[in-house]
């Protein structure tokens, strides 16, 4: 193995880690708590208030998080049975913060 290859691999892993993701996960948590917590479980534990609303910690099992970025920029709108999800429009920096937060809490499927 060439000497530069381990450094290149370490750098690639660092870039892929949630801690290096664009956005601020702490601000993303505040966005989730303010806008989403009435229906969704927004942390690593707990149940969603609305059983039709998936817990945020499992979203990556259903959708690539990168695809949520575009949907959020266009004004995400998803229908649930029961209470309808309101339409939210986010600024680009808010989207980055929110996606960084979502990436930081994902759990693997059991």
- Locate 33 and state its tokens: 């708590």
Count the neighbouring beta carbons within 10 Å of the beta carbon of residue 58.
Answer: 15
Considering the entire predicted model, what is its pTM?
0.72
Q: What is the pLDDT of residues 24-78, one digit of tens each?
A: 999 999 999 999 999 999 999 999 998 888 999 999 998 888 888 877 777 665 5
**Residues β-bridged to residue 76:** 88
d(CA 17, CA 24) in angstroms, rounded, equals: 13
- Locate 58 and state its tokens: 């499992």
Query: Domain-by-domain residue ranges, the chain?
Result: 27-105
C-alpha distances out from residue 43 to 31, 46, 73, 88, Å: 12, 7, 23, 20
User: 69, 67, 43: which is closest to 56 by C-alpha?
Assistant: 43
**Check: CATH 1.25.40 for 27-105?**
no
Q: What is the pLDDT of residues 5-29, one digit of tens each?
A: 444 334 343 444 444 458 999 999 9
């Amino acid at each position: 193995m060439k000497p530069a290859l381990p450094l290149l691999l370490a750098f690639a892993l660092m870039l892929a880690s949630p801690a290096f993701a664009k956005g601020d996960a702490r601000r993303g948590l505040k966005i989730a708590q303010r806008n989403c917590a009435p229906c969704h479980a927004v942390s690593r534990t707990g149940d969603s208030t609305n059983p039709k609303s998936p817990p945020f910690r499992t979203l990556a099992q259903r959708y690539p998080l990168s695809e949520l970025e575009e949907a959020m920029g266009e004004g995400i709108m998803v229908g649930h049975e029961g209470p309808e999800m309101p339409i939210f429009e986010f600024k680009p920096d808010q989207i980055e913060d929110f996606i960084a937060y979502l990436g930081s809490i994902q759990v693997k499927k059991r």
